[in-house]
């Protein structure tokens, strides 16, 4: 039983309702079973547990390796379902981990920007497109707003603010024959990021505001 995951999310949901204004839109778009890659913008430390608390199925995460340096913190994050990312954009081990989890019909959460960006989206890292192509799994875009109000990690326990989680419709990347080149991965990553941006207000879209070509999702 994923006790740590379930209990942590239960407590955060209570805190979000007690201290904040939290609403989730589009839960009906989440496939209840099967492999799933959840992609979202990244504003603050609150985003991973906020995403997990908003998605109606177990979510596993990639997390920065620095979070696992403390043995106690490492035990907690691993029990929660996080896997350390040792090298942004070039960790073959984490890609293999993601593929194995998807092969088990798990849902994994990825923040393609690779770091927190409270001032608006930046360009995504192409690893998410590579994973999606290799796994042949659907992607679920999610737009988060309001979590930038949560600064230091301790504020996650007392989340004050207006938090909105908008879940879009799942989609697949187009199939590609043969080896996938860098330019193709870059274009596919842009496609993914534009889907996320389409769920956000203009002020959150960052570099994808002017480039966005996809229609509004939902």
Instruction: Please name each of the domains of the chain with its CATH number.
Output: 3-211 (3.40.1130.10)
Q: Would you say residue 87 has pLDDT above 80?
A: no
Q: Would you say residue 86 has pLDDT above 80?
A: no
pLDDT at 1: 53
Task: Decide: pTM greater than 0.95.
Answer: no
* CA–CA dist 45, 48 (Å, integer): 7
pLDDT band at 218 (very low <50, low <70, confident <90, very high): very low
**Closest to 65 (Cα-Cα) out of 93, 39, 46, 102:** 93
The CA-atom distances, in angstroms, between 14 and each of 1, 20, 21, 69, 83 are: 21, 10, 11, 29, 26
pLDDT band at 187 (very low <50, low <70, confident <90, very high): very high
User: Interior CA angle at 154 toward 80 and 113, to 5°?
Assistant: 65
What is the mean pLDDT of the segment spanning 151-168? 91
Phi and psi angles of residue 199, each rounded to the nearest 5 degrees, phi first: -95, 0
Ordered DSSP codes for 175-215: P--SPPPHHHHHHHHHHHHHHHHTTS-GGG-TTHHHH--SP
Residue 117: CB atoms within 10 Å: 18
Q: Would you say residue 177 has pLDDT above 90?
A: no
As a whole number, the mean pLDDT across the chain is 91
Which tens digits make up the pLDDT trace of 104-142? 999 999 999 999 999 999 999 999 999 999 999 999 999
pLDDT band at 217 (very low <50, low <70, confident <90, very high): very low
């Amino acid at each position: 039983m994923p006790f740590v995951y379930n209990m942590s999310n239960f407590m955060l949901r209570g805190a979000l309702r007690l201290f904040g204004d939290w609403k989730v839109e589009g839960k009906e778009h989440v496939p209840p079973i099967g492999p799933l890659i959840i992609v979202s913008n990244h504003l603050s430390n609150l985003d991973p547990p906020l995403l997990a608390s908003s998605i109606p199925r177990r979510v596993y995460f990639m997390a920065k390796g620095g979070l696992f340096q403390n043995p106690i913190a490492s035990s907690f994050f691993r029990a929660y379902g996080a896997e350390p990312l040792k090298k942004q954009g070039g960790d073959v081990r984490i890609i293999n981990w993601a593929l194995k989890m998807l092969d088990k019909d798990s849902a994994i959460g990825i923040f393609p920007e690779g770091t927190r960006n409270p001032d608006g989206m930046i360009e995504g890292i192409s690893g998410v497109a590579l994973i999606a192509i290799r796994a042949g799994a659907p992607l679920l875009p999610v737009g988060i707003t309001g979590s930038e109000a949560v600064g230091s990690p301790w504020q996650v326990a007392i989340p004050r603010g207006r938090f909105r989680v908008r879940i879009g419709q799942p989609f697949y990347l187009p199939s590609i024959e043969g080896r996938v080149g860098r330019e193709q991965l870059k274009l596919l990553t842009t496609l993914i990021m534009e889907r996320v941006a389409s769920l956000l207000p203009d002020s959150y879209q960052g570099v994808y505001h002017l480039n966005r070509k996809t229609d509004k999702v939902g």
